[in-house]
Structure 1
């Protein structure tokens, strides 16, 4: 089979060195990669490094290898163009349709999905000019992922850090997997809130009531929503997964913390998908000190109280047009229990799946039935969680279309 062809554009920022790791992930997974750095990028990482890692020649100007017409050919032949880091300068030149080096020429000739992974200081990212350039690129169908929050150059911290190369790679793989559909950013302009993981309710300073949710399905939902153009807020409860490139991640632990974060994030949301496994109960009293085991004595019974029903609250208190979806993890009578929960919660969609040993929790694959208020039902066969995530967003998009 022909190897997927990726153009890796590299902007002139300090994060250019991280693109070496991204390049390695592409080449080791069988992609054919052509690196197109800007002249400034070569001040950080030399052409010899890019050529050695990619196994392909490196050029920055349209005047090199002119007999091959690289400024046209490279973009036309690509299956994906990803720019990492995308500096404020690269974003500005791309938004303005400039063609003053090989990279901007490639962008003008590419007929494939284009991904920008920005990296710059917070003030540059938040400047009105940059925000307008990003909006312009997104409006044209480009995928501009949100930068991460963290350490920048020097002692500065804030939003503007290049997302982790592993997360950028996973995002790009998702874009490639979608094929021609990736050019249709049907969630563009939408803000979606996704929850992931499992909440924990402390018993004492070292123990908690929890569950086996890994957060992988919620992260797949966030990753696919970004790939389809949405602005994504991911509320993650006790996960150990790399942050999805382009999503704003809010970390929480307890059900109360998740409830507060979701309600705040959902203030302007077009959809909320509650994929997290939320604890139904919490201890009535949290012990201030570790509960000690005493010889010859059974422990005191632990009294439980109900946690707030976040899904029901979101369903009852929402503006017109917002879609609310939940998950039902069942061990028996899966569809019957799912339909009952859909009616009880009052949400628009309920994703029902069977859980148990090697089923759903902690795995890379899932299968489910998406039940819709009003009677619709979509079965999603066993497969990658990203595929199920896409089918869920398809159902959300149908609900939006029905009320528009």
Structure 2
């Protein structure tokens, strides 16, 4: 931890790490101790806090080497321009920098500083050096700065930092490696909505969890990911090109915009098949015991892509409540997809709203492949494994 006003936010981040099963030890600079006390961090981490005074060796250990050897990951938060410059140039003039220089574990830097310091050429050059050395850097956010004005340099929210850290750690460890590096992947997710009047709309129960899991795994495996999503309560994965839409027509427009340049396209969104022909411009009043809405068919996005595809590997989803394989196989052929993922949404333990699913992969000229009940992230992994094996043939 280094000396910035965002140090107080780092305390919340430490708590989040511990809640998620991490063992945390804190090393802080002298400047950091001016913003938050070592006692606070010791109480949160349940370990003694390392400061410059800890540099005094005892007979048995060298503290900064002992900490460097103990650590499986090192996170610098908040990272000031000063610490970034020191790390980039191999300076080790206090406990924190000495530990970082001695550490061989993956390193993660979360900058927070004034916008003018952040955009300074020296800081940008130092950050480029860190990235070239394999150190992960989280981009600061726009927001209200300590100086009293809006600018870039604000420390992201704790949940954003934790999600980024988790994703980067998975990238370090994933057995699949970076097999999607150089690939452009387009994924649709969530539901679409169709307006009835200014306060009502037609939609479905999709939460977007499957599509977001696919986007995260694709990013972790090195792909350049574009995620086009209808309304959800989910945070988009870090490092994806995120595009928010509402209606089926809006989703179709954005998919068409990006489709030509893509290598893999996965249509995981649950789009509304119908829309109200003439949405009311004012709220419909309850003046009648009955209300009739005339619905017209929306564009079939997946079918249109099946007609347009050239080099793209096209994946569709089929959410069925009966005759799963029969209906899904028919859809696979009609939509001209390379792979169709069929799932039974009538089951209460999987599908819409659940973190788990059970699906069947349908491929032209191949037997159905059942993927038994598992987390949606694991199903995403197996989906990309399947795509990889099919493309290698």
TM-score range, shorter chain: 0.7 to 0.9
**Cross-structure match for 1:5:** none
Question: Could you tell me whether the CA contact under 8 Å between 2:55 and 2:64 is conserved in 1?
Answer: no
Question: How many angstroms apart in 2 are the aligned matches of 1:168 and 1:85?
Answer: 11
Deviations along 1:110-158, whole A, 9 cap, x unmatched? 5554444455567777788777766766666555455555555533256
Question: Could you tell me whether the CA contact under 8 Å between 2:110 and 2:139 is conserved in 1?
Answer: yes
Question: How many angstroms apart in 2 are the aligned matches of 1:269 and 1:11?
Answer: 42
Question: How many angstroms apart in 2 are the aligned matches of 1:315 and 1:143?
Answer: 38
Q: Which consecutive unaligned segments of at least 5 residues does structure 1 have?
A: 1-9
**Cross-structure match for 2:351:** 360
Map of 1:28-177 to 2, 5 A cutoff?
A: 28-59=19-50, 64=55, 66-67=57-58, 68-86=61-79, 94=87, 99=92, 102-103=95-96, 106-107=99-100, 110=103, 112-119=105-112, 142-145=135-138, 147-148=140-141, 151=144, 154-157=148-151, 161-173=154-166
Question: How many angstroms apart in 1 are the aligned matches of 2:68 and 2:97?
Answer: 10
Taking structure 1 as reference, are residues 318 and 117 closer, same or farther at Cα in structure 2, changes over 3 Å only?
farther
Q: Which consecutive unaligned segments of at least 5 residues does structure 2 have?
A: none
Scaled by the length of structure 1, what TM-score is found?
0.77
**Cross-structure match for 2:336:** 346
Does structure 1 residue 273 correspond to structure 2 residue 266?
yes
Map of 1:372-387 to 2, 5 A cutoff?
A: 372=363, 375=366, 378-387=369-378
Question: Could you tell me whether the CA contact under 8 Å between 2:55 and 2:95 is conserved in 1?
Answer: no
Question: Could you tell me whether the CA contact under 8 Å between 1:147 and 1:162 is conserved in 2?
Answer: yes
Instruction: Supply the RMSD in Å over aligned alpha carbons.
Output: 3.9
**Cross-structure match for 1:3:** none
Taking structure 1 as reference, are residues 178 and 245 closer, same or farther at Cα in structure 2, changes over 3 Å only?
closer
**Cross-structure match for 1:208:** 201
Question: Could you tell me whether the CA contact under 8 Å between 2:349 and 2:356 is conserved in 1?
Answer: no
Question: How many angstroms apart in 2 are the aligned matches of 1:384 and 1:136?
Answer: 38
Question: How many angstroms apart in 1 are the aligned matches of 2:3 and 2:285?
Answer: 58
Question: How many angstroms apart in 2 are the aligned matches of 1:127 and 1:318?
Answer: 45
Deviations along 1:257-311, whole A, 9 cap, x unmatched? 223334445575554333221112211111112222234x5323x2222222333
Question: How many angstroms apart in 2 are the aligned matches of 1:377 and 1:75?
Answer: 50
Question: How many angstroms apart in 1 are the aligned matches of 2:14 and 2:34?
Answer: 18
